[in-house]
């Protein structure tokens, strides 16, 4: 018998059930849905939170924490993957996705929140026991203990390439964006390091909830009576809910007199509506109207002037959303489902036309935390012909002297200036007009005549607008 066999055996630890932590389990479920089913966090999370609240599992503070854990983990995934790659002894692609989700949630708590270190590790290990089992929980524990050896800055020094060696790779790791997006945003923004860093960080912040008071239906004064409501910065119709706010609890939002709408989108609609025009101003078109945010504002502005809006959208179910957004509009309007590249209306019918074309959405990354990891550079090739065809339709749909607004919620130059330049070169008989004076008081709009808004400069999505007048 060896000495070893004579040693008294350590009593086995009694089995202990994992502690129930509904917040982290909910956050994990949301991450799995985003990962497995390509779901959108902003669509998956609200029903999960509602169910958990109805069951009495979580309260409002828990819901805020769960939201922060999910959004933060998704946004910072690029940074956290770089940290995890340094702590796991095999390529991350060989780690089971559910294990990676638990690890990322743990890294976010350790490096991206004020949750104390021991609580972050123990809560994540308990989560791992509950959803992965004891064996894999040990692996999670070992990895998170390595992660806990440094704070975020310490890790960034270790895992990000030096800025001087590779500025784009450095920014991609530090600010958690794919490199090709860093590169595209920088091309569009121009300037030096400070500007692009501010922009990338702004993409990592949750945007304020902004309401639009649809003119003729409700005043900003009424909306400003809500808790922590403040006037918008730029749009005369905007009200910001600065404490996060629950728009669904606002009467005027429930009955459609107001809506939730980023100030950038409001500025685009208002600029088109106010662009100078000679001659009649009766017929307006929104050619890509779904889900109807800009159409609802345009319809209300049109009603004030005795004009009529035709809101057209290719997808029938989205045309249904437009009809809902426009219900109760004080003036005449029509909603149709139609392909804007084969329009059912006659050429030269409209005085004002908005084409807010489908795009990569790189200007709204702060709203969709997973979007930056799903988009691929090849997506641009898919949008390019459609964007050109829709702008072409817009120019054919407007009368001579009328105005077209070409808009994207992407600042990517391939979706903005390149499209406008190409179409104008081919088309002739149309000229750009300066959009900047139509956004009075808004600074830093660029060299014109088109405008590009930015999250870090304006607090809006990165909306682009070119205004084009048909001259013959």
Ligand X SMILES: C[S@@+](CC[C@H](N)C(=O)[O-])C[C@H]1O[C@@H](n2cnc3c(N)ncnc32)[C@H](O)[C@@H]1O
Within 169-228, the residues that bind ligand X by CB under 6 A are none
Is residue 324 a contact point for ligand X (CB under 6 A)?
A: no
> Residue 347 carries which DSSP code?
T
Q: Is 293 annotated as a binding residue?
A: yes
Residue 170: name the closest of 200, 146, 215, 208 by CA. Answer: 200
Query: 87 catalytic, yes or no?
Result: no
Per CB under 6 A, contacts with ligand X among 228-287 are: 265
Burial class (CB in 10 A: 0-12, 13-18, 19+), 427: middle
> Are the beta carbons of 108 and 100 closer than 8 angstroms?
no
- Residue ranges of alpha helices (H) inside 41-178 are 41-54, 60-75, 77-87, 97-112, 117-131, 134-147, 152-159, 167-174
User: Which of 294, 368, 388, 412 touches ligand X by CB under 6 A?
Assistant: 294
135 is in an annotated binding site: no
- Min separation Cβ 419 and ligand X, Å: 14
Of positions 102, 213, 288, 453, contacts ligand X by CB under 6 A: 288
Q: State whether residue 144 is helix, strand or coil.
A: helix
Q: What radius of gyration, in Å, describes the C-alpha atoms of the chain?
A: 26
User: Catalytic pick from 409, 419, 439, 465?
Assistant: 409
Of 405, 291, 282, give the one whose Cα is nearest residue 333: 282
- Give min distance, CB of 407 to ligand X, in A: 8
Q: Does 341 bind ligand X (CB under 6 A)?
A: yes
Q: Which stretch binds ligand X (CB under 6 A): 42-50, 110-118, 313-321, 369-377?
A: 313-321
Q: Rounded CA gap, 9 and 12, in Å?
A: 8
- Measured over the CA atoms of residue 146, residue 150, residue 151 and residue 152, the dihedral's sign is negative
Residues touching ligand X: how many (CB under 6 A)? 17
Binding of residue 292 to ligand X (CB under 6 A): yes
Question: What is the per-residue binding string for ligand X in 355-374, x denoting contact by CB under 6 A?
Answer: -x-x----------------
Residue nearer to ligand X on the CB measure, 78 or 232:
232
Nearer to ligand X, 168 or 339 (CB): 339
Q: Measured from the CB of residue 361, what is the shortest distance to ligand X in angstroms?
A: 8
Question: What CA–CA distance (Å, rounded) separates 450 from 468?
Answer: 9
Q: Could you tell me the CA-to-CA distances from 206 to 194, 373, 456 in Å, in that order?
A: 20, 17, 12
Q: How far is the CB of 351 from ligand X (least distance, A)?
A: 18
Position 106 contacts ligand X (CB under 6 A) = no
Q: Which is nearer to ligand X, 49 or 357 (CB)?
A: 357
Is 339 annotated for ligand binding? Answer: yes
**Binding residue positions for S-adenosyl-L-methionine:** 288-294, 313, 339, 356
**Binding residue positions:** 288-294, 313, 339, 356
Task: Name the site residues for ligand X (rule: CB under 6 A).
Answer: 265, 288-294, 313-315, 318, 339-341, 356, 358
- Report the catalytic residues: 409
């Amino acid at each position: 018998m060896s000495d070893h066999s004579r040693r008294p055996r350590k009593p086995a630890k009694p089995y202990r059930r994992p502690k129930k932590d509904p917040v982290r389990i909910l956050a994990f479920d949301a991450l799995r849905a985003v990962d497995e089913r390509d779901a959108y966090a902003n669509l998956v999370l609200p029903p999960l939170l509602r169910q958990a609240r109805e069951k009495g599992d979580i309260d409002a503070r828990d819901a805020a924490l769960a939201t922060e854990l999910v959004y933060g983990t998704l946004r910072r995934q690029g940074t956290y993957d770089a940290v995890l790659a340094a702590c796991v002894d095999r390529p991350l692609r060989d780690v089971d996705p559910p294990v990676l989700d638990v690890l990322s949630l743990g890294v976010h708590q350790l490096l991206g929140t004020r949750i104390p270190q021991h609580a972050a590790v123990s809560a994540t290990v308990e989560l791992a026991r509950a959803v992965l089992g004891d064996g894999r929980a040990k692996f999670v524990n070992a990895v998170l203990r390595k992660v806990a050896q440094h704070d975020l800055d310490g890790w960034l020094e270790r895992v990000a390439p030096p800025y001087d060696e590779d500025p784009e790779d450095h920014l991609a790791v530090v600010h958690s964006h794919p490199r090709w997006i860093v590169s595209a945003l920088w091309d569009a923004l121009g300037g030096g390091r400070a500007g692009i860093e501010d922009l990338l960080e702004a993409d990592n912040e949750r945007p304020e909830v902004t309401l639009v008071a649809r003119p003729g239906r409700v005043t900003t004064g009424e909306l400003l009576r809500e808790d922590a409501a403040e006037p918008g910065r730029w749009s005369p119709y905007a009200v910001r809910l600065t404490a996060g706010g629950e728009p669904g609890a606002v009467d005027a939002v429930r009955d459609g007199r107001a809506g939730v709408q980023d100030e950038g989108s409001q500025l685009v609609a208002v600029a088109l509506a106010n662009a100078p025009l000679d001659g009649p101003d009766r017929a307006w078109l929104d050619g890509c109207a779904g889900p109807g945010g800009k159409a609802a504002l345009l319809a209300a502005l049109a009603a004030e002037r005795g004009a009529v809006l035709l809101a057209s959208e290719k997808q029938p179910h989205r045309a249904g959303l437009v009809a809902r957004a426009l219900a109760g509009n004080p003036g005449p309007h029509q909603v149709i489902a139609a392909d804007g590249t084969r329009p059912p209306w006659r050429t030269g019918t409209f005085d004002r036309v908005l084409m807010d074309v489908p795009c990569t959405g790189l200007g709204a990354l702060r709203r969709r935390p997973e979007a930056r990891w799903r988009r691929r550079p090849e997506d641009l090739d898919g949008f390019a012909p459609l964007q050109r065809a829709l702008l072409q339709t817009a120019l054919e749909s407007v009368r001579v002297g009328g105005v077209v607004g070409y808009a994207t919620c992407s600042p990517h130059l391939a979706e903005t200036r390149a499209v406008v330049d190409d179409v104008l070169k081919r088309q002739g008989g149309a000229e750009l007009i300066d959009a900047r004076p139509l956004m009075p008081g808004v600074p830093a709009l660029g060299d014109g005549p088109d405008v590009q808004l930015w999250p870090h400069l304006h607090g809006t999505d990165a909306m682009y607008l070119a205004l084009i007048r048909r001259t013959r």
